[in-house]
Structure 1
């Protein structure tokens, strides 16, 4: 490093290949000092003014903002915030024309200045040397500083390198024609640039600082030498005037004879480079606390009557600059505005585009000074473009592949090593816009790479999902296999312990009982419906008896029939309660007699159902018997009374049997200590008695129905007194039947509390 430093100190430089020497035309704008411009009516602050990502908007429409207030923020390291250039009101947030070759709109914050210029609270750091370096880097990032001489790479990322820095190069070459912003800045603000260099030296600790300035700027060279004369490691290096000497890779090669590797960075060869405008902004941010809200812009060209360099707030639309520089439209056949210089700049699609952090020049040439480009002609393979290329590429090959959309072949010829300096197009005799083809090919490749990244991410997510599903399936399969193995081992192990057998049997019985519970619900619902029907019929009959209307001869036959139906229902309920008691006793005892009890209960239910069916059939036959027109006699009334009396007796017998069965069902849970054999005998007796009772009831019902039918064949005169007695007797029979049903229902609820 010392040898290189001494060589540069002696004025001996290296060189780079290619390059051209176009007319400079810098005198148009470098003769006057940097001036300030009045604020425009609207400011259009683009959210993304650098390489990286845009931040999230921190304001909304209608908000009042102060000068220097943060407008965007993002945790992404490739994002730097933008700030309000002046105080005013946010009138709109949306798409607006951007300072870009594509002319596509970008998200923009529109601010209407209030003319007050009221600053937000600033936080200067005068004692930066006493603070941690990361604190200073954070302050530079928060100030929104990015590279102001090239592509706009975030400054805080460039100065956060962990590698050793041998040389810090300050780029003040400004080799492109017409542009003089850095020249005037070094002339007028050399000391503040020196302060920015000191901050960078504190952060990077380089071995030496090289301040490169082109030889056509003698005043800037002298000013910087005066500002840096007290620092022996700061060296101002005048370099020959040749385009593009100010390119990053070309300048490193010109000063140090080091070539930045393909797809590499200057730090890979021990170098970090910053523009003089960036150094000025760093000093402003640290010592004054001001964010980057304005910059020096060169307004030049033969179509402007007042060219020069101006402090322009970021977001100022180009049309306002043209009005202030007194644009003469008659000197241009077609309005042509170039953002940047004539070599690397691009033509704006509209003068609504705003100034951004990388905008160093607005060029409005006349048609005479810079004629419109002629029509493109075929390449003659003269190789003049290859001789002028400072990157030692083959521009003609890149042109062929880019034009044919052979993007992979273009990459094979190192397309992305092209710095788009325009030297090849400048010397092309066929007037081929070579840089245009290269830019379009690069854009297409970037789009393809983005699509490939998206598809790769989607494929990775799909594969990860499939792997997860397969893993879950394997886990479930392993769990099932493990459970099956446990069951197999449990079945193979002998159960010698009687207690284990009993416990297993109880568990199986309990499981079966729980499984059978849903099936019992419909039967219980049917019992409730039958009981409700019986209660409704009894209530209706009681109401009819209370009305005192004369009963017909057919009613005398119907009352015994209803009593028989009630008694049958009571018997059925009693049998069901006995069966439930038998089932409860069987489950609790967990003995082998459970199957016998269930069979007996099943037979009892069948017998009761048969009895009910026969009684119903006999009753229907009694209803269908032909009625005679003869008048009833006293003998017929006596027979009817006897039939009613017998029906009441039958109902009483059924009631007594139902009561006895219910009492037996209530006493069944208390006899858990009795052996299983006694329980089986009692269950069989109960079932037998229930069948006997059902048979008796059936016989009586049949006999009563036959007697009631025979009474209709005679014609006698009705006796009012006898009819009243019969009605009262039928009413009492119905009441007793209802009482029997109520008791049976109560017994059922006690046995089955669920």
Structure 2
């Protein structure tokens, strides 16, 4: 560790492989101070401007917001909020082209400034050293600070490592051509950057702090030395000018001679790196309570009359920035966000500034000619010689074109930092970095699909296990309940069995009683009908016998009702009437007994072949026989005689009752 510090002090640094020396073109924009610009008519604040997840929008359309007011919030540790760059009204919350090579629309909050610039309530932490570190980290997170060197990694995650930190490296190299935003920031705000480094020192407690600045920025080096001269722990180091010396892994290798392992992070070798712009934002958040709502952006290129650095509020459209610098576009003008090596062409000038935007280029055709048609690879190995990550760009190109992603990953595809050095030196004008970016996106898509499939399988297996466990628990519960009942029956000495038997007996008795009641009701109705039927049959038989007897006792000449009337109680006719009534009563009694005997016989020996004959049917048959045997006159006389006989018999019976 001491040997590393001695080498840094003596200027004897290590070197990383590869690298190139393109024209810097930094003098176009680093001659003037950072300027403030008027607000745009509309600000478009993308809700996701960092690596991680986006927050939840906490404002609504039409709401008035204050400068620095949070627009999103989330409890996710990888979510960083965004804030209102100025006071105004939320005109709409809708999709807007994103600051990405694809320019795909992303959700954004659109603010119409009111020109007042009224701040929300600010909560600085002047005595941060007396507070718990978690409070300071929370303040950095709430300020919406993410890495401003280009990666956009959430700063509050980076300053909360789980390993000991040996070196804290402050990156002020800014190696890419044209870009001078960090250079001017160090020249003009070196002391505030130093305050941010103090906060990081408090949070990380590193053994050594190194501020690295490329040696083509002598004014920035001197300003940082002045700001840090009161603390010997702070070492300002001039790094040789070579692209991409500002890359995280390349700068670590240059300063310490250590290499970050494949797929690893700098903290794995005891190093944490922060950009000077991030340090400035941390100081603003802790000592002033201001969130990250603006940053320094370099506006350069030959089609800009006044190349300079400006304080650009987050969400400012690129067109508004160019308008402040005398932009004179050419036909089919190209606009680039970022530097000429790692930047990307903009699909529209309405794309807004985000937290990682450090440069807007408007180059002329002579300054940056159109890309030539791609030619076949001649296997010159110039790309491998220029690669700062010691990769084999030619092999990666073949596997990326063939969509052989597994093989591309075997050749460490994700170790490529997309610096563009390989494409810069390629004599065949092959856009190597574009192929690598496409292959990386495909790998990420496959990995996301695999992760989703794994999660679905885990959920299915967990559900299956849960159902099996529930079934086993139910079976075990039933088994224990059965054993408990069995033990209870044994302990009761058969009382439980007796209770069960008694319950079954009661149920059977109740069922039998219900059946008997139904049967009795059916029998009672049936017996009543049978008794009525028997009575009708007996009455019919008695009437028939009485009629037959009356016919046998009638005189040869019929008499009328007046002739048959008795003249005196002692006449001969009266005696005949009495005899006739007695004979008629005897006949009725015999007929009744005969009918009862016949009915009894029929009940004891029923004839299955002989159908039952009702009383009405018998009367009808008898009437038919009489009508067939006698003529109508004789039948009338017989009926009159029978009526007279019945009347006499009734009268005689009344006299006997009176006597």
Do these two structures clear the TM 0.5 threshold for a shared fold by scoring above it? yes
Q: CA deviation at 1:703?
A: 8.9
1:661-701 superposed Cα distances (whole Å, 9 cap, x missing partner): xxxxxxxxxxxxxxxxxxxxxxxxxxxxxxxxxxxxxxxxx
Whole-Å separation in 1 of the counterparts to 2:439 and 2:421:
18
Map of 1:427 onto structure 2: 425
Whole-Å separation in 2 of the counterparts to 1:323 and 1:115:
19
In the alignment, does 2:382 pair up with 1:384? Answer: yes
1:605-636 superposed Cα distances (whole Å, 9 cap, x missing partner): 34213125547989999xxxxxxxxxxxx9xx
Listed as ranges, the matches of 1:454-493 within 5 Å are 454-479=452-477
2:27 alignment partner, SS class: coil
Whole-Å separation in 2 of the counterparts to 1:188 and 1:135:
29
CA contact 1:619–1:705 (8 Å) conserved in 2: no
Map of 1:24 onto structure 2: 24
Map of 1:127 onto structure 2: 127
User: CA, structure 1 residues 476+424, in 2 after alignment: closer, same or farther (shift >3 Å)?
Assistant: same
CA contact 2:297–2:360 (8 Å) conserved in 1: yes
Q: CA deviation at 1:326?
A: 1.4
Whole-Å separation in 2 of the counterparts to 1:87 and 1:426:
44
Q: CA deviation at 1:440?
A: 0.3
Q: CA deviation at 1:370?
A: 0.5
Map of 2:521 onto structure 1: 605
Map of 1:740 onto structure 2: none
1:115 alignment partner, SS class: coil
User: CA, structure 1 residues 620+161, in 2 after alignment: closer, same or farther (shift >3 Å)?
Assistant: farther
Q: CA deviation at 1:128?
A: 1.1
2:45 alignment partner, SS class: strand
Whole-Å separation in 2 of the counterparts to 1:464 and 1:258:
44
Whole-Å separation in 2 of the counterparts to 1:373 and 1:496:
101
User: CA, structure 1 residues 494+35, in 2 after alignment: closer, same or farther (shift >3 Å)?
Assistant: closer
Whole-Å separation in 2 of the counterparts to 1:415 and 1:4:
31
Whole-Å separation in 1 of the counterparts to 2:220 and 2:243:
18
Whole-Å separation in 1 of the counterparts to 2:232 and 2:497:
101
Whole-Å separation in 2 of the counterparts to 1:494 and 1:229:
93
Equivalent of 1:505 in 501, 504, 524: 501
Structure whose residues are more often helix by fraction: 1
Listed as ranges, the matches of 1:37-436 within 5 Å are 37-330=37-330, 333-436=331-434
Q: Which runs of 5+ in 2 are unaligned?
A: 538-560, 562-613, 624-634, 641-659
User: CA, structure 1 residues 502+269, in 2 after alignment: closer, same or farther (shift >3 Å)?
Assistant: closer
Q: CA deviation at 1:125?
A: 1.0
CA contact 1:40–1:316 (8 Å) conserved in 2: yes
CA contact 2:170–2:211 (8 Å) conserved in 1: yes
In the alignment, does 2:6 pair up with 1:10? Answer: no
2:220 alignment partner, SS class: helix
User: CA, structure 1 residues 449+603, in 2 after alignment: closer, same or farther (shift >3 Å)?
Assistant: closer
1:302-352 superposed Cα distances (whole Å, 9 cap, x missing partner): 11011100000000011111111111113xx41211010000001111111
Q: CA deviation at 1:270?
A: 1.1
CA contact 2:536–2:615 (8 Å) conserved in 1: no
CA contact 1:495–1:501 (8 Å) conserved in 2: no
Listed as ranges, the matches of 1:556-705 within 5 Å are 604-614=520-530
Whole-Å separation in 1 of the counterparts to 2:167 and 2:535:
121
- Range with greater deviation from structure 2 (319-328 or 238-247): 319-328
TM-score by length of 1: 0.69
Whole-Å separation in 2 of the counterparts to 1:273 and 1:177:
22
User: CA, structure 1 residues 617+405, in 2 after alignment: closer, same or farther (shift >3 Å)?
Assistant: farther
1:141-172 superposed Cα distances (whole Å, 9 cap, x missing partner): 10000000121000010001131111111100
Q: CA deviation at 1:603?
A: 5.5
User: CA, structure 1 residues 368+507, in 2 after alignment: closer, same or farther (shift >3 Å)?
Assistant: same
Map of 1:448 onto structure 2: 446
User: CA, structure 1 residues 224+484, in 2 after alignment: closer, same or farther (shift >3 Å)?
Assistant: closer
CA contact 2:150–2:357 (8 Å) conserved in 1: no
Aligned residues: 552
User: CA, structure 1 residues 478+87, in 2 after alignment: closer, same or farther (shift >3 Å)?
Assistant: same
1:27 alignment partner, SS class: helix
Larger radius of gyration: 2
Whole-Å separation in 1 of the counterparts to 2:304 and 2:386:
31
Q: CA deviation at 1:12?
A: 1.1
CA contact 1:618–1:705 (8 Å) conserved in 2: no
1:692-722 superposed Cα distances (whole Å, 9 cap, x missing partner): xxxxxxxxxx9999999999x9999xxxxxx
1:223-253 superposed Cα distances (whole Å, 9 cap, x missing partner): 1111111111111100110000000000000
Q: CA deviation at 1:472?
A: 3.1
Map of 1:749 onto structure 2: none
1:424-463 superposed Cα distances (whole Å, 9 cap, x missing partner): 0000000000000000000000000000011111111111
User: CA, structure 1 residues 44+709, in 2 after alignment: closer, same or farther (shift >3 Å)?
Assistant: farther
Listed as ranges, the matches of 1:710-721 within 5 Å are none
TM-score by length of 2: 0.79
Q: CA deviation at 1:505?
A: 3.2
Superposition RMSD in Å: 2.9
CA contact 1:61–1:93 (8 Å) conserved in 2: yes
1:329 alignment partner, SS class: coil
CA contact 2:83–2:291 (8 Å) conserved in 1: yes
User: CA, structure 1 residues 305+707, in 2 after alignment: closer, same or farther (shift >3 Å)?
Assistant: same
1:362 alignment partner, SS class: strand
Whole-Å separation in 1 of the counterparts to 2:448 and 2:533:
88
CA contact 1:148–1:275 (8 Å) conserved in 2: yes
CA contact 2:423–2:430 (8 Å) conserved in 1: yes
Q: Which runs of 5+ in 1 are unaligned?
A: 517-578, 584-597, 622-633, 635-701, 717-754
User: CA, structure 1 residues 99+616, in 2 after alignment: closer, same or farther (shift >3 Å)?
Assistant: farther
Whole-Å separation in 1 of the counterparts to 2:147 and 2:252:
17
